[in-house]
Amino acid sequence: MKLKETILAASAAALLFVGCGNAEPSAAAKAENEAKHPVGHEKHWDYVEHGPAHWEEFSKTCGSGIHQSPVNIIPGKSVSMDHTYDLTMHEDFHTMAAIIDNGHSIKVTPQKGGSISLHGEIFNLLQFHFHGKSEHTVGGKRYDMVVHMVHQNPITKQLAVVAVFFDEGESHEILDTVINNVGKTVDVDPQDLLPKDTSHYYHYVGSLTTPPCSENVQWYLLKQPQTASKEQIEHFRKFYVDNERPVQELHDRKVESN
Ligand SMILES: [Zn+2]
């Protein structure tokens, strides 16, 4: 099978609710979804034919939500961090992790991940995945790649996503581990994704950037970017080059910065 055909086949096989930032649906929900929409007849969201302008057909929130993500961050308009929701990261955790191409991104699911704490609450790392260009922009700048580290509070089920931007530059070891092992389970340490400085970031409340576009997601965009080599970026983009949702209106929200 040629690469393109492989990607198409993978896209067709992907389930409706497996995407950016989304917790996996329950087995019961999957079964129900498959019963209602037999495989092969389901309309799947994507970034082309059923792209962002059509996502409302999959979830109303994607069209009518007013606290959606991603957004363009205007540094001069951000406000000082209200320290109630300061980010503390505990990601130094060696674990086996499954790497899959889910039809929308390359997704890595650690068997047992690290966590972050916000407001005295622990949010566990569920998965991380990559976009071939950054979804959020900063002062209009779109970074060459981004990783979204998706965390969930096990009690309230609220989601918190930490985004690490990549600029073209030095190669980054964990990217090779991910890109070269799609379909396999490997040992990773999510901390390797993080830049040295994790204490400066933008914070705001937004949504998943893929259907169902659910809101009340805590977003943390680390200011210090990581680097990826030209070869690594090109390698990743053989899988996904335009899997980013356009920026959404900020509406009444304030972006915090520290
Ligand atoms: Zn994402």
Q: C-alpha angle 65/119/73, rounded to 5°? A: 45
Higher pLDDT, 208 or 24: 208
Predicted confidence at residue 112, as pLDDT, reads 87
pLDDT per position as a tens digit, 221-253:
999 999 999 999 999 999 998 899 999 999 999
Going from the Cα of 19 to the center of ligand 1, the distance in angstroms, rounded, reads: 8
Cβ neighbours around 121 below 10 Å, total = 15
Instruction: Please state the domain extents for the chain.
Output: 3-257
Calpha distance 85→97 (Å, rounded): 29
What pLDDT score does 9 carry? 43
CA of 20 to the centre of ligand 1 (A): 4
Q: Residue 138 has what pLDDT?
A: 98
Pick the CATH number of 3-257 from 3.10.200.10, 3.30.70.60, 3.50.50.60, 3.30.230.10: 3.10.200.10
Range scoring the smallest mean pLDDT among 82-86, 99-103, 200-204: 82-86
- Nearest of 151, 169, 166, 165 to residue 218 by alpha carbon: 151
Predicted local distance difference test score (pLDDT) of residue 125: 97
What is the reported pLDDT for 113? 80
Ligand 1 centroid distance, CA of 47 (Å)? 13
- Tell me how far the alpha carbon of residue 162 lies from the centroid of ligand 1, in angstroms: 10
| pLDDT more than 90, % of the chain | 77
Which residues form the catalytic set?
104
Q: What is the mean pLDDT of residues 208-215?
A: 96
Return the minimum-mean-pLDDT range out of 37-51, 111-125, 134-148. Answer: 37-51
- Determine phi and psi for 94, rounding to 5 degrees: -75, 130
Residue 42: the pLDDT is 60
Instruction: List pLDDT tens digits, range 72-91.
Output: 999 999 999 988 889 999 98
Averaged pLDDT score across all residues of the chain: 87
> What is the reported pLDDT for 95?
94
Residue 20: band (very low, low, confident or very high) from pLDDT cuts 50, 70, 90: low
Bridge partners of 129, per DSSP, are: 107, 148
Between 179 and 14, residue with greater pLDDT: 179
Amino acid 111: pLDDT = 94
Look at residue 19 and tell me whether its pLDDT is greater than 60. Answer: no
- Write the CA distances from 99 to 15, 55, 107, 160, 179, integer angstroms: 16, 26, 6, 21, 9
195 vs 228: CA distance, rounded Å = 12
Res. 92 pLDDT band, cuts 50 70 90: confident
* Residue among 142, 108, 138, 109 at smallest CA distance from 242: 142
Instruction: Tell how far the Cα of 5 is from the centroid of ligand 1, in angstroms.
Output: 23
pLDDT 10s digits, 158-184: 999 999 999 999 999 999 999 999 999
